[in-house]
Amino acid sequence: AQSVTQPDIHITVSEGASLELRCNYSYGATPYLFWYVQSPGQGLQLLLKYFSGDTLVQGIKGFEAEFKRSQSSFNLRKPSVHWSDAAEYFCAVGYTGGGNKLTFGTGTQLKVEL
């Protein structure tokens, strides 16, 4: 069965600093990968997705992620963090078949210091 690991439960960065959130997945075939963001009291908003093609994908709000098959990773990055980016970030993996359900990581809580 597929699984997703987000090794960092909490991350604190200063506003304007760069950000990288780690995500590792376990799945036999090529997965399709997502990053979602959840602000307090809100639902999940899709930041970006990957299935095939260019391994560097661009998303909304200035985020990007890079798929590295050799490392089974799909890390999320942002060159300059804004205070409004403070939220919880979830990496998710899906696969064709099985109804396209998503398996989520445990999330990384991002705190931005002003």
Instruction: Give the shortest CB-48-to-other proteins separation in angstroms.
Output: 10
Instruction: Give the span between the Cα atoms of 62 and 87, in whole angstroms.
Output: 15
**Any contact of residue 104 with other proteins (CB under 8 A)?**
yes
> By C-alpha distance, which of 43, 47, 49 is closest to 85?
47
Measured from the CB atom, the residue of 26 and 42 that comes closer to other proteins is 42
**Any contact of residue 55 with other proteins (CB under 8 A)?**
no
**Any contact of residue 59 with other proteins (CB under 8 A)?**
no
Is there a contact between 113 and 12 (Cβ–Cβ < 8 Å)?
yes
**Any contact of residue 45 with other proteins (CB under 8 A)?**
yes
Measured from the CB atom, the residue of 25 and 32 that comes closer to other proteins is 32
Tokens of 35: 């990053």
Instruction: Give the shortest CB-77-to-other proteins separation in angstroms.
Output: 20
Instruction: Give the span between the Cα atoms of 52 and 21, in whole angstroms.
Output: 21
Which residue from 2, 5, 22, 49 is in contact with other proteins, where contact means CB under 8 A? 49
Strands 108-113 and 56-58, by their bridges, are unpaired
Is there a contact between 73 and 27 (Cβ–Cβ < 8 Å)?
no
Measured from the CB atom, the residue of 17 and 46 that comes closer to other proteins is 46
Residues in binding contact with other proteins, number by CB under 8 A: 24
